[in-house]
Chain A
Amino acid sequence: MKILVCISKTPDTTAKIAFTDNNTKFAADGVQWIINPYDEWYALVRALELKEKDASTVLHLINVGGADAEPVIRKALALGGDEAIRVNSDSRDSFTIASQIATHAKSVGYDLILTGKETIDYNGSSIGGMVAELLDMPYISLATKLELSGTTATVTREIEGGEEIAEVSLPLVVACQKGMAEARIPNMRGIMAARTKQLKVIEPVAVEALTSISSFGLPPAKAGVKMIPAEQAEELVRLLHEEARAI
């Protein structure tokens, strides 16, 4: 069994969001970078659990990013995985990134490719589906559970108002979210081992981008809160009905 987990580098969940260069670039100064939580807590940890059940499993991590992504890739390797591949590209176009992952995946032939359901910076929710299409594999998005039995996967995915359970034969691409696994903290042994694990850097293939970000903006600030004394809580209902027309 060969598993590939896609890892993205994102700002910390508490990072201040601001933009520079006439609102065309994310203000990265002083920002703490982390593994995208969906990639780490759910995709990577579930892959590690599968590897723990079957020691013959080969687990690779892939990142499409610049050299500045390497500390985050090492952090992922500290949690586990046999080796990592970094495709040396700064592209922010989902199709370009997915094409790099698909090109590498084709050369190795993975049975299972896991991604997070989205990154917490660009919120594209696109990479998994695009990789699956480029590799002509089935795809399950918003997955909350994944069990393997031989070459058959049983996957639970979120739908509006509930969940759906499906059986799919490998190879398969799955986008993971909450429920898939519990977050782990790397231990000292893992951190030490990660230093010597292979981090291969490969050059990107030429792909024409389908999108480009022209600029960023911040939502307008709230006008301010209207406070209602606790002893007149019923006044809230009147305001919501007559003023906000929300109920």
Chain B
Amino acid sequence: MSVLIYIDHADNQVKKSSLEALSYGSDLAKQLGTEADALILGTVEDDLALLGKYGVRNVYQVSNPQLNQLDAQVFTAVIADAISKTGADTIVFSGNATGKAVAPRLSARLKAGLVTGAVALPDTANGFTVKKTVFSGKAFAFVQLLSPIKIISVNPNSYSVKEGSGSAEISSLDITVPAPKVKVTATNKVSGSVPLGEAEIVVSGGRGLKGPENWGMIEELAGLLGAATACSRPVADSHWRPHHEHVGQTGLAIAPNLYIAVGISGAIQHLAGVNRSKVIVVINKDPEAPFFKQADYGIVGDAFEVMPKVIDAVKKLKGK
């Protein structure tokens, strides 16, 4: 009986989304009256004892460097072995790219009920029911997990990181790592920019910007705010911006603290990808744009006149 939180990492560092999963898992352990432990596969430069700050007692590590690259099949076998060694019965993942690859496999392997896209702690008063987003953020569902072992995959940016004090005990798990079938041949990262799925602030442009040559002001504002840039589907489809920037129902669904939409009318498919943002700002010259109904702050005006003023004001605020 314990909660085991899977820690994901890249470039030798623990991912922010895993800190959210740690906070979620520690709070869940408290609620269940049990302990929380963390599991990390592969190696990082971070001091793993510091994960104790997020409420975990032990950090179990399988420090085989082969595990620095993802093969979901191998990871599943290793995690399943770690679960039987540690006696954990509730497993928490971040619903990031690794969580999406591994959690469903683990669910099938252990016949353990899985809920993905969790946005709140489970209701454990009567059974074990987890709130998750459905219909691309337009609704939520309460999903009951019926099996003895339970797996929860937490939506990135939907549970706040809680940092306290404390130090975790690091212990190495002796687990045989099967040979991988997936051979990673290249990793291409957009350097220097904030990953869209993890960004606290996102500045996004739509067709109202008229052409790719006008993205300078989106990038400038994003740069000042430490934000990621995004775009609407027509913009990606017209190749004004790369596909990985497309947010919406058929693109990436994001939940930043602040979403600034410039020249985006707010079609229902776009809203589905961004409506979990905490604060939404809409700048659009059409006062009838449906996006204003979903916004917290709105400006009706020409982006080419409004944006320079906003950029100047941010520069003043940041003392630049």
Interface residue ranges, A against B (CB under 8 Å): 11, 13-14, 17, 19, 37-38, 41, 94-95, 98, 117, 120-134, 136-142, 144, 154, 157-169, 178-179, 208-219, 222-223, 225-230, 233-234, 236-241, 244, 246-247
Decide if B141 touches A246 in the complex (CB within 8 Å): no
Q: Which residues of B contact A130 (CB under 8 A)?
A: 104-105, 107-108
A225 touches which of B76, B106, B135, B295 (Cβ 8 Å): B295
Counting chain A CB atoms within 10 Å of each CB, which of B112, B250, B298 scores highest?
B250
Which partner residue on chain B sits nearest A226 by CB separation? B297
**A175: min CB distance to chain B, Å:** 8
Query: For chain A, what secondary structure do more than half of its interface residues adopt (helix, strand, loop), or is it mixed?
Result: mixed
Q: List 12 A-B contacts (CB under 8 A).
A: A14-B268, A14-B269, A17-B139, A160-B198, A161-B190, A166-B184, A222-B293, A227-B299, A233-B313, A240-B258, A240-B279, A247-B317
A160 touches which of B96, B105, B312 (Cβ 8 Å): B96
Which partner residue on chain B sits nearest A155 by CB separation? B182
The segment from B22-30, B53-61, B300-308 found at the interface with A is B300-308
A130-B105, A160-B198 given; name 15 further pairs at CB < 8 Å: A13-B269, A37-B249, A122-B141, A129-B100, A132-B73, A140-B72, A159-B10, A165-B186, A168-B182, A217-B140, A230-B305, A230-B306, A233-B306, A233-B313, A247-B225
Which residues 157-198 in B have Cβ within 8 Å of A in the complex?
Answer: 181-190, 193-198
**A159: min CB distance to chain B, Å:** 5
**A179: min CB distance to chain B, Å:** 5
Which residues 213-258 in B have Cβ within 8 Å of A in the complex?
Answer: 225, 236, 243-244, 246, 249-251, 257-258
Report Cα–Cα, A13/B76, bound state, in Å.
33
Q: Which residues of B contact A216 (CB under 8 A)?
A: 134, 139-142
Report Cα–Cα, A159/B98, bound state, in Å.
8
Decide if A167 touches B317 in the complex (CB within 8 Å): no
B258 touches which of A41, A94, A246 (Cβ 8 Å): A246
Report Cα–Cα, A211/B293, bound state, in Å.
35
Counting chain A CB atoms within 10 Å of each CB, which of B141, B187, B278 scores highest?
B141
Decide if A165 touches B184 in the complex (CB within 8 Å): yes
A169 touches which of B146, B181, B197 (Cβ 8 Å): B181
Report Cα–Cα, A35/B155, bound state, in Å.
25
**B48: min CB distance to chain A, Å:** 20
Decide if B108 touches A17 in the complex (CB within 8 Å): no
Q: Which residues of A contact B293 (CB under 8 A)?
A: 222, 225
Q: Which residues of A contact B182 (CB under 8 A)?
A: 138, 140, 166-168
Q: Which residues of A contact B107 (CB under 8 A)?
A: 94-95, 126, 129-130, 210
Q: Which residues of B contact A236 (CB under 8 A)?
A: 281, 297, 299, 310, 313
Q: Which residues of B contact A213 (CB under 8 A)?
A: 141-144
Decide if B115 touches A211 in the complex (CB within 8 Å): yes
Q: Which residues of A contact B71 (CB under 8 A)?
A: 138
Residue B7 lies at the interface, judged by CB distance under 8 Å to chain A = no
Decide if B310 touches A234 in the complex (CB within 8 Å): yes
Decide if B145 touches A222 in the complex (CB within 8 Å): no
Q: Which residues of B contact A98 (CB under 8 A)?
A: 104, 108
A162 touches which of B76, B184, B190, B268 (Cβ 8 Å): B190
Residue B138 lies at the interface, judged by CB distance under 8 Å to chain A = yes
**B242: min CB distance to chain A, Å:** 10
Residue B296 lies at the interface, judged by CB distance under 8 Å to chain A = yes
Report Cα–Cα, A134/B189, bound state, in Å.
32
Q: Which residues of B contact A229 (CB under 8 A)?
A: 299
